[in-house]
Chain A
């Protein structure tokens, strides 16, 4: 691996999914039974051989800090480098950053100090497995100034997204922000590689000119000014930009090919805790579901993702649900298309239902 420093934006795009980011940053949204969204970008970095990672935080980052700790679960508790939290107001900003560019400005002292040749920037609102070192290889081969990673799929509109156009050599010919045209597009994954010196110079220059948007003021005009290249990622990619997308991505894990791609080689790391193994009672009926440690199942569970410590009471029927850590479902409940945040209690005999395009959401710590 060529010498590279990683930077992860842990709280960007929070407004996309307010239900889940009310109490936490995007990166610490629980996902897939025992993970947090940040685990994917962070594990990708570690698996690409990156040993210095800066984590840009904003507000609500207590839960993220609790999750990351010293970074030891990602093998990033290091004497040199390792995982470094970059709280707001760090570095050279005077106010809480308002956009990606200001956030990066706050990280410049970290990036300088890391003193690596390349920088890779990634968001933490997506589920995918990508060896970033391949992106850097392509970057070097193309002699690019900036390489943007994209995934081709039908665009689901969110509050802010970037679409790329490229020529046959992967050279970027246009960077469009929130285009209105639908259909299959090259969706920029907010994963970007640049030479450290180039990035620092560009950030400095942007501030001197009063720029405020990385996409609008640097990438879009950059098509003409710089060597902008694209890297196509064609594995599984889920951008968690709405509650529906969150629900669907969890459900995708029940498909063997997705589950094996994401989890197969056990290389997504996360904080480990010591829950007892999952327990299935005499009365348990479990079909097509992910069941985490600490679960106790006495009822019927179908097409569900159950996080740690979920209890399903006798006679309860739970279908197509995502139940986060320590949810308790009482006896004879009937739940379908429910996404329930952590620590909620659903009393006996309750009937709750959402639907595929609009799952019913239960706030953290609710009593229903």
Chain B
């Protein structure tokens, strides 16, 4: 049997995610908690295994410690393989020079040898900051059927928001004639999702050429895709329909968490098809003796207070008399008696002491002008003292 893989996935997980402020001050964005028991990277990794792609390179650079430990040998995603599996690819020192990844394209370029070990026909490029379920295999089939050199996944967005995205202008057959990065006057509402399939030899060719171009920013969206288009390569769009959310900002991260709530939620995780795998924590079932409505609660929690419209992560304790509304609690958080949390995102390992007040009621907070549209953010590992107040829209990364 040939030692090769048809398709290798490369997951760009090196970004800092600076618009998440305190949430990414010491972990990479893909390692940020999501949906009470997951981390963002669970989604692309699970999509890979659910699509039959069992070889994934994870490109890390910024604060990789938590991410590396979390991904480990890949066993939770069934990606511990003797040939293939998941591999963490950090920047490395070479004989002639040492260099950090200088852009998305450069990160892949520096790991061409990794890809070539598997001699794939196709390479799938993914980002580590999107929440969605997608069968990449369908996209790969479309790529093959179109005999494309590059296929870009895209989805319809409201036209007035289109100028925030990379926009694809396509012909009737789905082929792309123009690619505009964040256009002021968008001609179409098809936004690129940052998911690309390349025919491997074309990818290698353009990466090698781009590396020699000193004026290039070494970026897929800015350099590689426009160059391929200009050279007349076969570039196609692949229309994705379903839930997809870029969680690069505090607001979108909060919204994506809220999309999990409800018996019929915007984004369904409870179905048994295409399960999102994660390094599921070993904790007992949640103990609930309080009022918990329209919320999700992970294992290991002890909830004796009131919780509504919230996402509560693993091993959180919410004491009697405490109240949590419209908030995301990431994990291992203690909310002591009498404390109130409204419209907030609270990172892991935070302690909130008695009678502390975090944030303000959502309808009031939303009126406040702040970087976070009124959402209060508490960073990892801090503690909020007895009776302390953190106003709506504040971002806090030290003890209060």
Contact = CB atoms under 8 A, between A and B. Distances in A.
Contacts of B297: 277-278, 280, 291
Contacts of B276: 274, 276
Contact of A293 (B277, B287, B290, B299): B299
A290 B280 contact: no
A34 interface: yes
B295 to A, nearest CB: 5
Contact of A280 (B269, B283, B295): B295
Nearest to B265: A279
B282 to A, nearest CB: 6
B289 to A, nearest CB: 5
B300 A293 contact: no
Nearest to A260: B302
Nearest to A262: B284
Interface string A253-275: 01000010001001011101111
Contacts, number: 110
Interface centre among B285, B288, B292 (most CB of A within 10 A): B285
B293 A274 contact: no
A325 B185 CA distance: 54
Nearest to A282: B294
B203 interface: no
A280 B299 contact: no
A76 interface: no
B156 interface: no
Contacts of B295: 279-280
Chain B interface SS verdict (over half):
loop
A286 interface: yes
A280 B282 contact: no
Contacts of B261: 279
A76 to B, nearest CB: 14
A351 B86 CA distance: 51
A270 B285 contact: no
Given A34-B285, A266-B283, A284 B298 contact: no
A290 B282 contact: no
B300 A266 contact: yes
Contacts of A125: none
Contact of B284 (A33, A296, A306): A33
Contacts of A296: 263, 270
A244 to B, nearest CB: 22
Nearest to A33: B285
Query: B interface, how many residues as a size bin?
Result: 35 or more
B296 interface: yes
Contacts of B300: 266
Chain A interface SS verdict (over half):
loop
B294 A280 contact: yes
A238 to B, nearest CB: 15
B228 interface: no
Given A296-B263, A296-B270, A259 B296 contact: no
A158 B307 CA distance: 44
A225 B110 CA distance: 74
B287 A298 contact: no
B293 A291 contact: no
A292 interface: yes
A32 interface: yes
Interface centre among B276, B280, B286, B291 (most CB of A within 10 A): B286
Contacts of A294: 270
Interface centre among A284, A296, A305 (most CB of B within 10 A): A284
A140 interface: no
Given A32-B284, A270-B282, A288-B289, A277 B298 contact: yes
Contacts of A72: 75
B104 interface: no
B65 interface: no
Given A263-B283, A281-B294, 12 more contacts: A274-B76, A274-B277, A278-B296, A278-B298, A279-B296, A281-B263, A289-B289, A290-B287, A291-B288, A292-B286, A294-B270, A296-B270
Interface of B: 35-37, 75-76, 261-263, 269-270, 275-278, 280, 282-300, 307, 315
12 contacts: A32-B285, A259-B287, A266-B300, A275-B270, A276-B270, A276-B276, A280-B292, A281-B263, A281-B294, A286-B290, A291-B287, A296-B263
